[in-house]
Structure 1
């Protein structure tokens, strides 16, 4: 077992034996057995549609998540050897749009309600309480968090709202370059843990923003993602700022959770350090409303 990388929710290990490598995902914060039914079903549907993804392997009893004697829940996947996806590559941009369209078609007819992580954000009182904890802990980025709480958090929160029920599909929910590896046969989509119901237009809007360069987006890249999505049968449309609600909500919630972890006495020192690093990184890479507005203008001719 070799540690490979650490994400917000888990540690990835490479398990090697008998000439076959596997990816083990250790879920660091799950107390109860996680439900992986949606993830497994969507993975199965995605592979049927030609989307390359690692298999989620069952144990001898057919279970897809297992608890170790030490307490952690783990999942076992195929190991994927590949290089990080280049979001500036036109072929990768087209792959992103096409893949998202296929996922949305596979996930049509979803009846569930999107998780609050994608639909809501914390009120000002919660942010004030968190800021107080960070200040009392003497963390060097307390001032940066304070400026964010007083300005950007308020501005972005105004554009976070529940999505319309008739737009909900079952999808991946975290299609970012960090979750794509490219091997000799092409891109492989990883990290399906968050699979579930989501607004199709909001997932598309977030993907277009992320894959076209964020605040410093390339208009041609954004249009390329959208055109590939539409050509593959995707039905979602991104007009105005409302579709970016998921982008704003997830980034606000990520700062809140990681900053909270940084001052949580019940977690390990390593987890607090991780939370601190992640909170600072996200504070310095949040979406800007002016940039998102320009992005919507660049896409006006695509609908």
Structure 2
């Protein structure tokens, strides 16, 4: 990594563990502290638009969105100024925190930033029988659970491909989840913008609001917290789209693709030099194999509960 523009180091660069897609380091120099993200380019699920995302981030930062200052973006490395804050647990947030996230989303969606790329999603993956067979043949610890859920995963793929999205499409962060948020003096800081792009508004609101309104599973969902995000969005000048299953299709489809990606990393059976550690990929697969069928099965309940 060429990091000379960040100043003279005052100590070694330190790995910060826990990233689900890339690898993060902290670098302290005579010019301050920086978050240095090494991008995983070896097996990305989509092309990364570094220059366009950086331009979007700069516009958001200039507009006062609470986020780390974007410093530089290259083909292999992203740099932001380091921000101290408390990591958000996977648990329902406070109503005030959820309300402010809604306001932040409305402000992000109101930014006037050109985006030259039309998002054309690939069909949902349907090779689940083959993946289950390979997992069984290679003795993966979650092979039995995956095999028992093959038909459910095929049904999820059908839902993702056929669910109608009502629009509008907005340029947005696309991944405001607890693990991409900090609390600084109790208020949100939005991290990890590299998935930014165009998205149906209902998918963005549903994914964000649900993730902030629940714990690790789906037994502790707080409708009032879900509603606080939407209230904040309206207070920030946003208009809510029509209600329905489309509010959760982006979350389900994204989790489906993420689970498959981690399955492939586990089937390779080697510790990759970039991206998540192999142990974290196994954990992500177990979470997906157990959590996705539950989420999909409770979709009618969620639509009724959170309306």
Where does residue 259 of structure 1 map in the other structure?
263
Q: 1:284 aligns with which of 290, 298, 304?
A: 290
Q: 1:65 aligns with which of 56, 74, 78?
A: 74
Summarize deviations over 1:164-222 as a string: whole Å, max 9, x none.
59521111010001111112383210000111111111111111221111623111111
Match of 1:192 in 2: 193
Q: Could you say if the C-alpha distance between residues 42 and 92 of structure 1 is closer, same or farther in structure 2, counting changes exceeding 3 Å?
A: same
1:238–1:146 CA distance, 2 compared to 1 (3 A): farther
Q: TM-score, normalised by structure 1?
A: 0.83
Structure 2 residue 82 is matched with structure 1 residue 54: no
- Other-structure match for 2:209: 208
1:210 and 1:42 map into 2 onto residues whose CA distance is 24
Aligned partners of 2:174 and 2:197 also within 8 Å: yes
* TM-score, normalised relative to structure 2: 0.82
Shift of residue 31, structure 1, vs aligned partner: 7.8
1:130 alignment partner in structure 2 = 131
Residue 237 to residue 246, structure 1, CA distance change in 2 (3 Å): same
CA RMSD of aligned residues (A): 2.7
In structure 2, the CA distance between the partners of 1:111 and 1:10, relative to structure 1 (3 Å rule), is: closer
Say how many residue pairs are matched. Answer: 284
- Are the structure 2 counterparts of residues 30 and 234 from structure 1 closer, same or farther at C-alpha, using a change threshold of 3 Å? farther
1:167-246 correspondence runs (5 A): 167-184=168-185, 186-213=187-214, 215-216=218-219, 217-246=221-250
The whole-number CA distance in structure 1 between the counterparts of 2:112 and 2:170 is 5
CA distance in 2, matches of 1:158, 1:108: 33
Hey, what does 1:75 align to over in structure 2?
Answer: 78
> Cα distance, 1:111 vs. partner?
6.7
Contact 1:170–1:195, Cα closer than 8 Å, also in 2: yes
Structure 2 distance, partners of 1:121, 1:267, is 27
Could you tell me which runs of 5 or more consecutive residues in structure 2 were left unpaired when the two chains were aligned.
1-12
Structure 1, unmatched stretches of 5+, are: 59-63, 67-72
Question: Hey, what does 1:27 align to over in structure 2?
Answer: 39
